Structure 1
């Protein structure tokens, strides 16, 4: 096993990785920006090294500084977490060249599946269903208009190199296409340095279903079931659960088998997620994209499967076989995760950085977990993502999980900054959500208009 790994991230995911490594007996190195000098992950790691100023491009995205930190501290591997450099094939390739193990897939596979156009082509080869769409990159509005006419409206414009909801636009008709294309392309160029787009027919209404997969260097690939991530705002997930109430036994077998087939086709190694859109009316599902990294919502899968995904990532990167085979994986109960952000839902979800003057995280009972890097007295910097915690619950059934989440959110108390805790409490208590009657349009079209009417 590795003696020491460097965590190229911050916040709760850095804390999560440090804890998993410590339980495996592996030493850890935290990196931090000058704005994160007092962050929890810095205090918890065995060693910590500053890699630059507050701006992400000069610290958490600074490949040279991060690799130099790994060399200076003798780290044998780098875990990128999610976001930042986690899906950057150049960084993974540099790690390979410097004989530092990148805890994730190879740069080659990342290029293949991280680029949405390449991934789509590979899934067609693998026999995984994909939505009708463009066959390559789209660079001009003229190309976009022609392709949209061929596949039919409504369509989705997506950045080829995108992620995190950036460079995505829904287009209902030709009048909306040109301004939407130009805006999405500009956003993609700014976010990823790549303005290439592609176009897909929009599956609507739809469920956003994703399947967690794990692969090792011996060719073993397994799935850990599915998550329903349909509750989204502006293509950003808000609440996730597993299993999905929209999927029965037969469809579950089909969609998880398709995910394993997809991963096997590209010889996938480490943790990854295959995302699908499900048309509930027809029961058909379509490949959307692959995330070649750990996901924010991985804890719900850990609860229902009993598999520690982060530990498996580290073991696999060390060259070990997966510790479980598919026949060993059993699923139990129901899990739900709510993302807690320092933001003001009543003011268009504006970020709310500042000093936490008091913090009480819910606890007690079986099946409750809070992943967070917050502590009382900590100042949330304004430079990074607004997520401050994840509340994850597990119950014998969905009703128990819902009640446990309501209890947990009622206990969650944070002072000094505005959060979305009350928003999440109302969402988890909404009759449609309680009934499992929602799709990707529900939050934006049904719940939010009513929520924002309230004082």
Structure 2
């Protein structure tokens, strides 16, 4: 076994690898960029070395610098994690040339599976089922259009060198194809340095099911069953679970054998994932097609660990060190059910735009296990709740890297128990300081489709009304939580200084407090009345309730409103109150009547960048007439393209940036003149 390894990555996967290495007695070396000097993965390792600037191209993609650090620190092997250089055959070969072990597959296997078109030709020759499509080398746009017409719409354009949903577009009719192809190629070039694409028939209501495979250098090759990754937004996974619901033993065996066959066809070694598109048939079975192979550990590997009792990182280390697989196929079995939720800094209601900022509050579920893995047999029960995180309270999510905050993994004896545990764990996850998808994930988990395992990649769109138009918890409860927090703070001050008591005593009558709160753009005035005897009433309009509060420590408060009691967690961030409860969460703004609120009367026609990024396309010119919803510009941020559309009809007045400019969040991109004003101008 190795004595020291270098982890060529950052964030939660670097922390995850370091945890297993520490358990095995292996010393670890971290590498970090300028902005990651105090990051969690740096603290998780025994040594850390600075390798460059914040941009990945200046640090985590610097193969030469990483190898230099590995040699200087005496590391024997390099673990690439996922992303960055993990599927770069050139880096794998450079490690070998430098006398270092690359903890991953051979360069030839990475190369064979790295280009989707080439891998599909190989899989076809190996007898693995394929989706009908075009995987050729000729990339002439006219030919690609002709092939799409031949296959029949809808078709899927996919970057040949890509992954993670980048460089992928669904096209429903021929007229949309040229623009979709151009956008797909731009994103592929920016993300992978290669704009080649392939065209496939788009399977309607597809399920995304993948098989975890593992091979050693002694000819042993196994699969560790399947994961269902169908719940996606923007072609990127949101929730993953294992085993896949509704999978028959016969279909599981067939898909497992096909995955092993695919890995064997390229001489695979180490951990890999063979991804399939599965199409439900009238008889209830699944017809499956090879999609791609990820030649690395997957983000969702913890659900496989939970149901098999296997530490996949430990297997990676042992196989890379030349050992045999710890278990063969007949020794592997499924135990229970596991689900993983990706907690991301993003705005679901704004088409999942990534969010940046500081995690002012990061509170996790009680009794959570941090990257803990069972060491016993497969029948040993894993931790009910596990958290893999690369950031914590006080850390910042920057525009330089992926916006994932953490992964929350739950295990249950069956899917129903896992679902209940996931909802409870998400309810106890409190993130303040930036936008996150936690509340959205709770709604997905509670949706009819997910609860009943009616899964496909369009689940989020199909359940849009439930997922995006959900009402917040009732305002009286939210206000009661805010007041409970304020009263607890006042009581603490009174205990420290009895001359500062504000317990509501008045010589004549009760004490009255007026609180003005804004929720979802609606402002309401609430009144708190406190009597001499300590009783309190909360009133909203013509309704009133008795109110009793009890601090439970920290941000938690027991609140009794009328005849009901709830436990709420409340955090203040600036003028905003974040209230979390079992039935949901909401953000309220406290309105100060003495402060002038200049809300503006309809806006000044300026369009701003929703987040920091690079302007990669301007689709209009000054003087152009535009209609509401028309694409105006395209920005690239966090490796994804984001289209800026016109909020109303009008005319472009001025372009304030050029293609290639880096634009800060809130930076003005262009100005519009409203349609009625544009008409007046034209009329003279």
Q: Deviations over 1:115-153 (max 9, x none)?
A: 101110111111110111114124121111221232222
Partners of 1:452 and 1:416 lie apart in 2 by 21
Q: Which structure: greater helix fraction? A: 1
Q: 4+ residue runs of structure 1 moved beyond 3 angstroms?
A: none
Q: Deviations over 1:235-292 (max 9, x none)?
A: 1000000111132111111111111111112121000000001110263100000000
Say if 1:209 and 1:229, in contact at 8 Å, map to a contact too.
yes
Equivalent residues in 2 for 1:217-256, closer than 5 Å:
217-256=217-256
* 2:211 match: secondary structure: strand
The reply to whether residue 438 of structure 1 matches residue 455 of structure 2 is yes
Structure 1 residues without counterparts, runs of 5 or longer = none
Larger Rg: 2
Displacement of 1:347? 2.6
* 1:240 match: secondary structure: strand
Displacement of 1:96? 1.2
Say if 1:215 and 1:221, in contact at 8 Å, map to a contact too.
yes
Partners of 1:184 and 1:193 lie apart in 2 by 13
Q: Deviations over 1:280-333 (max 9, x none)?
A: 026310000000000000000000011111110111111111111111111111
The reply to whether residue 447 of structure 1 matches residue 466 of structure 2 is no
* 1:111 match: secondary structure: helix
* 1:169 match: secondary structure: strand
Say if 2:156 and 2:202, in contact at 8 Å, map to a contact too.
yes
Q: Deviations over 1:16-71 (max 9, x none)?
A: 00001111111100000010011011011000001101011000111111111111
Displacement of 1:406? 0.6
Displacement of 1:451? 2.7
Say if 1:139 and 1:195, in contact at 8 Å, map to a contact too.
no
Displacement of 1:418? 2.1
Q: 1:30: which partner in 2?
A: 30
Partners of 2:358 and 2:159 lie apart in 1 by 36
Say if 2:214 and 2:271, in contact at 8 Å, map to a contact too.
yes
Q: Which structure: greater strand fraction? A: 2
The reply to whether residue 368 of structure 1 matches residue 371 of structure 2 is no
Which of 336, 353, 356 matches 2:356?
A: 353
Q: CA RMSD in A?
A: 1.3
The reply to whether residue 344 of structure 1 matches residue 347 of structure 2 is yes
Partners of 2:432 and 2:174 lie apart in 1 by 48
Q: 2:417: which partner in 1?
A: 400
Q: 1:150 to 1:351 in 2, by over 3 A?
A: closer
Q: Deviations over 1:368-393 (max 9, x none)?
A: 10100222222222311110110000
Q: 1:129: which partner in 2?
A: 129
Partners of 2:143 and 2:48 lie apart in 1 by 49
Q: Deviations over 1:402-455 (max 9, x none)?
A: 000011001111222221111111111111110001211111x21235433345
Partners of 1:221 and 1:182 lie apart in 2 by 40
Partners of 1:336 and 1:281 lie apart in 2 by 25
Q: Deviations over 1:127-184 (max 9, x none)?
A: 1101111141241211112212322222111111111111111111211111111111
Q: 1:414: which partner in 2?
A: 431
* 1:182 match: secondary structure: helix
Partners of 1:285 and 1:170 lie apart in 2 by 19
Say if 1:141 and 1:182, in contact at 8 Å, map to a contact too.
no
Could you state the TM-score of these two structures normalised by the residue count of structure 1? 0.97
Say if 1:207 and 1:229, in contact at 8 Å, map to a contact too.
yes
Q: 1:318: which partner in 2?
A: 321
Partners of 1:159 and 1:236 lie apart in 2 by 14
Could you state the TM-score of these two structures normalised by the residue count of structure 2? 0.65
